[in-house]
Structure 1
């Protein structure tokens, strides 16, 4: 059904890389959510009041808040689609992340409110009226919410949206909470055991726990989380696939919202090659990233001496030797400046963010390793921090 809806209501639905199409997906998902949640709220609110069930009324309020979350998502996609301006040259894509954070906060608030009202019902229990209409409404709600969870998850993954992924989790929580409400009503009717308040509290605690996780997931991109190992490896492998590229390092990826990522990296190429040809190749790599991946990449050219076997052997040996400290450590930009009494060996060393050694301690360790093997050298080491996943 999701595919049928997308085909009929999202124009150019196959071009998910287009920001305009991506916005259409988000807005369509928001409208579907608003309609479904408002109808469920009205139906469950009415049956909850008539049955005297705090858990059903709370479930109806939950649907109303879900509709508010859908409105927030709709607004987030609309604001995120605004073009760049002089004050925001990278666009407004992070509005979508903010919308996801608001949705997560609403989920958390709903859980806290449900726990409070359920505790009141535990302290002052009242019987819940049971009838076929109640069972039908709650069962219908479970079916609709199952479909909404699958619908939002499918579209969220299709366009890479944290906001819709959060909405899908919220719908899944609704399935669990409504199922628990229905179960407590059946138990109360069959065994005359009043579980309404207890079930409501348990569901509320689960929603609080889920809300905390959603807040964490939506805050991470706003704080500047490391790019995924898959993206890091894709960028590295693509750069290395071009003839003449010897290595790449100092990769940085900046996320200004879904579909608005910028990256920079250094590319090592033979110093003996024609610099105009090397520059032309770098331009082609940057353009290919933009055309193929929608990723704006800026590359810096690092010339590497390849016709001196002594320097090449030293670079390879040091690069392997430093891995005794930590397998993730790498070196780059090595060059030698020989003198009458010693040779300055100048290079950069990439320090993983979570390495226990400080910059100075790492510099001393690496320097000792180099001088033990090459006693007539003086290492001049610059410590670089890694700004990408340690899985690189």
Structure 2
């Protein structure tokens, strides 16, 4: 990532996290004080929920700072994935807080103690709802702008907290105006909501560590950009490896005319690498070359037309035709949704053998990346 852009991103994330910390500490103090005065387990658990947000923001800052460490011998691609780990830690904290709150709520259900809500308590809860909605939207938007999974998680959690506080408000209103006391049950619902949010965030963050597909829009833009070079006839086999938010290293294969010299190809590859880095902040560590001949253009188009009509085949590329050795070598992309990919590959072989019986066929199955 560009150093200046990286510094701006880091500053934005830290500033946003600090704002979240300050706002949530204020809410924790207010809800704890008035929750104890009212004897409301639901309000105290809502305060605990805000305390987990404070912890989440602190973990986000720590994780971000660690992710900025320079590459070393053991981590040559840097430490950017620490941000994903910090986001998972945040989700685990949320799950633990929800489970603890649930146990306390169950205890209050079997050992009830009616809360004493007052008008000022209700006002505090309403202020909390408005504050958390504004904060959640702000943090999530800043997370999306700065591509920070931890900030996005914290922002979504804050938005979810609005619904938690609404449940507390309903409990308070029923207690004051109808003398109906459901505080402990609301507390249990809050704990379940907290755990649900935590599990959802955990599973979402886990996808990044396992290797989530790169954004299709980004991949299409890079392919289209490379294809805009006059010397490039086709672009395929783009692979992007994620080493942290907005940190991609990848490779690609381009089709060029067989008459291009090694010097021409080197110059073209150099320009493509530099331009893609400047335009999309993606490092292309390797550019493979597939040579094509104008004399086989019609045959190539016929191969594509025949194979792309087979259900399950998304794309045909990397076609190399050697008329002297009577060899056809090509790649196909089979959809992940195809229940029988091996059968689809066999179908492609059979179709090619029937269409070009005098040629030896070699088909490689690529992944839809």
| TM-score tier (shorter) | over 0.9
1:21-66 alpha-carbon deviations (Å, 9 max, x no partner): 1111121122112212122111111111111111111111122221
Matched, 1:315 2:300: yes
Provide structure 1 residue ranges, at least 5 long, that are not aligned to the other structure: 1-14
Question: Counterparts of 1:1-392 in structure 2 under 5 Å?
Answer: 18-308=5-295, 311-323=296-308, 324-338=310-324, 343-359=326-342, 361-386=343-368, 388=369
How many Å separate the matches in 1 of 2:314 and 2:247?
A: 29
Where does structure 1 differ by over 6 angstroms across 4 or more consecutive aligned residues? none
Give the deviation of 1:299 after TM superposition. 4.1
Compared CA separation, residues 17 and 150, structure 1 to 2 (3 A): farther
Q: Secondary structure at the match of 1:63?
A: helix
How many Å separate the matches in 1 of 2:3 and 2:220?
A: 22
How many Å separate the matches in 2 of 1:107 and 1:313?
A: 60
Give the deviation of 1:130 after TM superposition. 1.5
Give the deviation of 1:201 after TM superposition. 2.1
Compared CA separation, residues 122 and 17, structure 1 to 2 (3 A): farther
Compared CA separation, residues 245 and 108, structure 1 to 2 (3 A): same
How many Å separate the matches in 2 of 1:91 and 1:299?
A: 19
Provide structure 2 residue ranges, at least 5 long, that are not aligned to the other structure: none
Compared CA separation, residues 364 and 357, structure 1 to 2 (3 A): same
Give the deviation of 1:379 after TM superposition. 1.0
Which residue in 2 is equivalent to 1:11?
none
Q: Secondary structure at the match of 1:18?
A: helix
- Give the structure-1-normalised TM-score: 0.88
Contact 2:17/2:57 (8 A) holds in 1: yes
Q: Secondary structure at the match of 1:335?
A: strand
Compared CA separation, residues 64 and 126, structure 1 to 2 (3 A): same
Q: Secondary structure at the match of 1:331?
A: strand
Contact 1:302/1:333 (8 A) holds in 2: no
Give the deviation of 1:293 after TM superposition. 1.9
RMSD: 2.0
Contact 1:107/1:170 (8 A) holds in 2: no
1:101-120 alpha-carbon deviations (Å, 9 max, x no partner): 11112222222233332222
Contact 2:105/2:187 (8 A) holds in 1: yes
1:66-125 alpha-carbon deviations (Å, 9 max, x no partner): 111111011011111222222211111111111111111222222223333222223332
Q: How many pairs are equivalent?
A: 367
Q: Secondary structure at the match of 2:59?
A: helix
